[in-house]
Chains A and B, each alone.
Chain A
């Protein structure tokens, strides 16, 4: 379990071709408590992926600070694992070998790798598909494998970048329930990026609302709904009020596409 502290983080990209600079993140402050599930919503281009990449240590920090358990983040580490938007499974490896990939890279023994791999394959509901190749799985199942691979290294902090954005609406709701079940079983600290307001509220202890140009945090909204939450909670007045509040915040951001009905 871990406490993540992001302090005054700014990121500027310089486009090589035009030599223009884009302020992707501006003065971001954010804390994720031990065992807390924090969701980030925001229009595309507001720097959500950038933020996760920095926390994951995949991009250098030039302004501001990120601390995990009191230690500054410098590059990737065993204390964090990322679930990517595209499942990024190795196509020539079976589910089992894919779930064990992170463990192998981090030098775990074959025995330990095997035991943990099996445990997390079962946890994400992929038992019976150990010997399948990624192309034999549906998109939803690929994401389960992707999640199991990240969970298997037992990271202090789990980073998830729109993990459900590529699956269809029905599968998405099933996986939301599954994610909650898995999270309740593991209680990882989690930083979860999503496009969808209802997904953020459903899963999170608090929702971070971002704005674009420059990418920044507009508001942090606590979600005090009891767990485990059934899907029907999405029709609860408290849930609807929260989603209305976040919707209003996002609407203020001019570049967020307005929805007509």
Chain B
């Protein structure tokens, strides 16, 4: 029979603040309120955007308007917009995917193995400090103006944030946990699988989140500089011919892509981090 520990009582007793108790009564309403507020701001923003040129406050040539952008998107949809989206998505997907597939294990290996880290750290830091876009002329020279040079720039843009955060993550291993695992006779493989890997997950996701932004920059800048297709390609042609509406279509596509990918990562993170104290 277990004696009921006294210290648990304080957990059952309620000494929360009034605000916390009120919030607990309507947790859902509370959350929906916040989502709603966010959407309202967004709607207000678009309404203002629509009104400003309509009232003659700004020239539509400069800022376009949501309705014009919508029309331009429909027009483009029938004239190769899908193809452009496909090409850009492919560049992003392959480049970013390769960066994750290579960056995560490599970062773990380098974080785990001190001599290897000593060997490669200066090289990685130097690469990380170089603006990757500066390599673009070289990549185009090597790989041409097709999709390969863009995949390469996306890859180079996103692998370093992943590599560096994962390496740092591997090195935050809690000494006490390590000692505990060793005392149970854990071997290196078990320590890797049961300690290093789980404690590195948040770092992997943080690295990927940083990398999403870098990868999108790679796609756009790569396509703006030299390309045959893609969102950036479409935007650069539209811009050269003063078709502001079409440029905005590109911007909005990129913005929603970046936003959705970041949200997706937040969702994945929440899934892996269920054990953390809820805020």
Interface residues of A (CB under 8 A from B): 56-58, 75-78, 80-82, 84, 86, 88, 90-94, 101-102, 104-106, 122-127, 133, 135, 138-141, 144, 153, 167-168, 170-171, 174, 177-178, 181
Contacts and interface: CB of A to CB of B under 8 A. Distances in A.
Contact of B184 (A106, A124, A135, A141): A106
B31 interface: no
A145 to B, nearest CB: 12
Interface string B9-43: 01100000000000000000000000000000000
A144 B184 contact: no
Contacts of A135: 275-277
B194 A88 contact: no
Given A88-B177, A101-B194, A141 B5 contact: yes
B78 interface: no
Given A90-B198, A125-B3, A174-B7, A81 B276 contact: no
A126 B2 CA distance: 8
A135 B11 CA distance: 12
Specify the main secondary structure of chain B where it touches its partner: helix
Contact of A181 (B3, B5, B198): B3
A58 B199 CA distance: 23
Given A86-B176, A90-B194, A125 B185 contact: no
In this complex, which of B176, B182, B184 has the most chain A Cβ atoms within 10 angstroms of its Cβ? B184
Contacts of B182: 58, 76
A244 B174 CA distance: 40
Interface of B: 2-8, 10-11, 174, 176-177, 179-186, 190, 194-195, 198-199, 275-277
Nearest to A82: B183
A90 B198 CA distance: 9
Contacts of A174: 3, 5-7
Contacts of B186: 105
Contacts of B190: 105
A172 to B, nearest CB: 10
Contacts of B194: 90, 101, 104-105
Contacts of B275: 91-94, 133, 135
B118 to A, nearest CB: 18
Contacts of A126: 2
Nearest to B195: A90
Contacts of B174: 88
B4 A171 contact: no
A58 B184 contact: no
B185 A78 contact: yes
B5 A140 contact: yes
Contacts of A123: 2
Contacts of A90: 177, 194-195, 198
Contacts of A124: 2
B7 A77 contact: no
A153 B184 contact: yes
Contacts of B199: 92
Nearest to B185: A76
A32 to B, nearest CB: 18
Given A90-B177, A92-B275, A138 B8 contact: yes
Contact of A81 (B5, B183, B195): B183
B198 A81 contact: no
A126 B3 CA distance: 10
Contacts of A177: 3
A141 B8 contact: yes
A170 to B, nearest CB: 7
A123 B42 CA distance: 56
Given A88-B177, A135-B276, A76 B3 contact: no
B207 to A, nearest CB: 18
The 6 A-B pairs at the shortest CB distance, nearest first, are namely: A125-B2, A88-B180, A102-B184, A88-B176, A140-B7, A82-B183
Nearest to A104: B194
17 contacts: A56-B183, A58-B182, A58-B183, A77-B185, A80-B183, A88-B176, A88-B180, A90-B177, A106-B185, A125-B3, A127-B2, A135-B275, A135-B277, A170-B7, A174-B6, A174-B7, A177-B3
A238 B79 CA distance: 97
Nearest to B183: A82
Q: Which of B3, B8, B11, B195 has the most CB of A within 10 A?
A: B8
A181 B181 CA distance: 27
A181 B184 CA distance: 24
B198 A138 contact: no
A174 B2 CA distance: 12
Contacts of B3: 125, 174, 177-178, 181
A96 to B, nearest CB: 13
A18 B7 CA distance: 45
A125 B5 contact: yes
